[in-house]
């Protein structure tokens, strides 16, 4: 079994090597697949991300969400956690310490994760049990720790977004890892939790 760092290096390289045509096609397929679900249709407050390092682009889904009147949010780094800023077309963005664009808003204007209905989570790898391998900094896991302790109310729903080749046979989760409810890829929808 490969280590997490080996999996991360291999899949990040494979992701970055995709052609522009494959990226555009994958983004459109993911948007079409996710927008057709009751989960997306029922969600009013949705967190997305701006793709970085070859991550699958959710811009087509963001445009669909805006067209449906949904409020969309982007993650904003706040220390070792994430806050979520409401994001509208044309809002000012600035680059965070990792070079990823995020809304330029003060901390008091950020929403907490538990106020959202759906969070689309970027990832490097995932398995059939809902384990996710991210970039390694743990921002999403720390931010969503309170959600992991809930037994009944499962909001926000956490949906990983990935290319099909990012699925691996098994990831060994750390005790603090927060599992996903599902993963959407260009070719299929993986429902992990009801």
Written out in words, the top-level CATH class of the domain with range 4-191 is: alpha beta
SS (H, E, C) the chain: CCCHHHHHHHHHHHHHCCCHHHHHHHHHHHHHHHHCCHHHHHCCEEECCCCCCCCCCCHHHHHHHHHCCCEEEEEEEECCEEEEEECCCCCCEEECCCCCEEECCCHHHCECHHHCCEEEEECCEECCCCCEECCCCCHHHHHCHHHHCCCCCCCCEEEEECCHHHECCCCCCCCCCCCCCEEECCCCEEECCC
pTM of the model: 0.91
pLDDT of residue 79: 84
Locate the domains of the chain by residue range: 4-191
Mean pLDDT by 10 residues, the chain (194 residues): 84 95 96 94 96 93 95 91 91 89 83 92 92 84 76 80 94 85 93 67
pLDDT of residue 153: 60
pLDDT of residue 106: 73
pLDDT of residue 48: 96
Q: Quick one: which of 91, 139, 148 has its CA closest to 114?
A: 148
Torsion of CA 45, 46, 50, 54, to 10 degrees: 180
pLDDT of residue 66: 96
CA distance 187 to 151: 31
User: Under a CB-based contact definition with an 8 Å cutoff, are residues 180 and 132 in contact?
Assistant: yes
Direct distance between the N- and C-terminal alpha carbons of the chain, in angstroms, rounded to an integer: 29
How remote is the C-alpha of 122 from its chain's centroid? 3
């Amino acid at each position: 079994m490969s280590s997490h760092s080996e999996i991360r290096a291999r899949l990040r390289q494979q992701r970055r090597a995709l052609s522009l045509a494959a990226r555009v096609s994958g983004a459109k397929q993911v948007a079409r697949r996710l927008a057709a679900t009751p989960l997306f249709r029922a969600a009013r407050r949705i967190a997305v991300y701006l793709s970085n390092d070859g991550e699958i682009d959710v811009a087509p889904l963001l445009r669909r969400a805006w067209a449906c009147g949904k409020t969309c949010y982007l993650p904003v780094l706040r220390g070792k956690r994430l806050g979520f800023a409401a994001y509208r077309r044309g809002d000012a963005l600035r680059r965070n310490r990792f070079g990823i664009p995020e809304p330029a808003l003060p901390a008091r204007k950020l929403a907490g994760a538990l106020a959202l209905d759906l969070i689309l989570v970027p990832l490097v790898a995932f398995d059939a049990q809902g384990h996710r391998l991210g970039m390694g900094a743990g921002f999403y896991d720390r931010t969503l720790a309170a959600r992991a302790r809930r037994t009944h109310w499962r909001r926000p729903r956490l949906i990983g977004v990935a290319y099909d080749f990012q699925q691996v046979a098994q990831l060994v989760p750390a005790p603090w890892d927060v599992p996903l409810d599902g993963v959407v890829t260009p070719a299929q929808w993986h429902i992990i939790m009801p």
